A = this chain, B = another copy of it.
Amino acid sequence: MADLNNLISPFFLNDKEIRKVIELLFFSYRDFTSGPDKILEKLNFGRAHHRVIYFVGKKKNITIKELLGVLKITKQSLSRVLNQLVNERFIIVSTGIDKRTKKLSLTQKGEDLENQLSTIQIDKIKKVINKFSEENINGFKEILYDMIETDNKKIFQQIND
């Protein structure tokens, strides 16, 4: 049955080729995050700090709850990371109209770091993108989007208004 499945599958989606996709995702994702990791290390930050900085930069005045919804971690986990970023003046907190909520924004220092980190990844993507057609790039994005679970697709849409 599995063999039959392989026979009727076009080459580009037989199991052997699909396993390559698994590996490509693993290696490419690892290399994609390694650049920022090096910069963060000097500041004694980790990838968790990067994610917070990224999404606070993306959505100004994001609340704790919204941020937790994007990151899908517990507030206890966020707490340590966020407190460090606030204490070291990368992020500034203000109170929302609903006084229970807090709004997070990057300071200038935070924006500078965000820029430094994102530039590495943006440049990496630009370099790659220049070698491919618009069709390829759009296909790439659509495939990635398709791989996201429904709930997270909504979150992706939300942070992109």
- Asked if A39 lies at the interface with its beta carbon under 8 angstroms from chain B, I say no
Interfacial chain B residues near A18, Cβ < 8 Å: 122, 125-126, 129
Given contacts A13-B126, A13-B137, A138-B12, contact A131 B146 (CB under 8 A): yes
Inter-chain contact A128/B143, CB cutoff 8 Å: yes
Interfacial chain B residues near A155, Cβ < 8 Å: 27
Set B12, B58, B126, B144: member contacting A28, Cβ < 8 A: B144
Inter-chain contact B140/A143, CB cutoff 8 Å: yes
Inter-chain contact A28/B148, CB cutoff 8 Å: yes
Cα distance, A31 to B126, chains bound together (Å): 24
Cα distance, A121 to B145, chains bound together (Å): 16
Given contacts A22-B121, A159-B23, contact A13 B143 (CB under 8 A): no
Residues of A within 8 A of B (CB): 10, 12-13, 15, 18-32, 34, 51, 54, 58, 72, 118, 121-122, 124-126, 128-149, 152-153, 155-156, 159-160
Cα distance, A132 to B142, chains bound together (Å): 9
**Shortest Cβ distance from residue A18 to the other chain B in the assembled complex, whole angstroms:** 5
Cα distance, A80 to B13, chains bound together (Å): 35
7 further interface pairs, Cβ-Cβ under 8 Å (given A13-B125, A23-B156, A136-B142):
A12-B138, A22-B122, A25-B29, A31-B147, A34-B149, A128-B146, A137-B143
Cα distance, A19 to B53, chains bound together (Å): 13
**Shortest Cβ distance from residue A140 to the other chain B in the assembled complex, whole angstroms:** 5
Cα distance, A118 to B21, chains bound together (Å): 12
Given contacts A13-B126, A13-B137, contact A144 B21 (CB under 8 A): yes
